[in-house]
Amino acid sequence: MGYTLKLISEHIEQDTDYLIEAKEDGSKSYKIKGIFMQADIKNRNGRVYPMEVLNKEVKRYNKEYIGEKRAFGELVHPDGPTVNLERASHMITALYPDGKNYIGEAKILGTPMGNIVKNLMDEGAKLGVSSRGMGSLDQKNGANYVRNDFYLATAADIVADPSAPNAFVEGIMEGKEWIWNNGLIKEADVAEIKENIEDNSRKNNSKANSLEFAKFLQKL
């Protein structure tokens, strides 16, 4: 069995810089740069990411994702911890510490979602970034401290207004629990139902399977 983690996302309220450069062939290169994450600061969600927790996870993310050119983010948060390549809009190219902040850089891709971002940038839209990860929390000193099991899924999704209240999105995402099991991520309640159905099938208990499937339909 795996262990259960909460999906957590953080919006950075500082402005993100746009870098639009003309190429020799007449096309344009689009990039964003700014604060992607912050350590040892109680954020507006009441959470604190200790420096040692972020340092460890950013090093892993740099090695396994940025260094391998597979650190992608999406346009607007999805409702799960994994990055859907069909919705990828940018590739994160750098993530490094600057005091308590982690500065990130990203290249906007020529994907359908990336082209939407480019058009928004051309029109002067104000965009921000929001990190997405999984972890458990310790409540102390009036804040929720992110534990050492924190797993960074993406350093930055692109969002329209990171300073706006988004209780609906956070309610959907953070109300779910996820199971991390040997590198596989599954939604906790669905995973539990699937296990129960498989167990009942081994016992030839069709009535119990029907009840489990009904529970699954109620969650859709």
Q: Clarify whether residues 103 and 201 are in a common domain.
A: no
* Same-domain pairing of 96 and 173: yes
Same domain, 196 and 126: no
pLDDT, tens only, 70-89? 999 999 877 777 888 999 99
Residues 61 and 79 in one domain: yes
Q: Which pLDDT score, from 0 to 100, does residue 128 have?
A: 83
Same domain, 99 and 171: yes
38 and 83 within one domain: yes
For residue 194 the two structure tokens come to 């699937």
Examine the domain organization and report whether 56 and 23 are in the same domain: yes
Residues 133 and 156 in one domain: yes
Percent of all residues in the chain with a pLDDT value above 70, rounded to a whole number: 69
Reduced to 3 states (helix: H, G, I; strand: E, B; else coil), residue 103 is: strand
Active-site annotation holder among 11, 77, 89, 90: 77
Same domain, 134 and 49: yes
46: helix, strand or coil? coil
Single pTM value for the model? 0.71
Q: Does the active-site annotation cover 77?
A: yes
The boundaries of the domain holding residue 39 are 3-182
Judge whether 22 and 39 are in contact, CB under 8 Å: no
Residue 193 is predicted with a pLDDT of 47
- Do residues 159 and 127 make contact, with C-beta atoms less than 8 angstroms apart? yes
Same domain, 201 and 95: no
Question: Looking at 9, 89, 130, 131, which residue is catalytic?
Answer: 130
φ and ψ at residue 47, rounded to 5 degrees: -110, 150
CA 128 from centroid of its chain's CA atoms: 14
CB 213 within 8 A of CB 196: no
Domain count, the chain: 2
Whether residues 195 and 164 share a domain: the answer is: no
71 & 99 share domain = yes
pLDDT at position 82: 84
Regions of the chain with pLDDT less than 50: 1-3, 163-175, 190-191, 193, 197, 209-210, 212-220
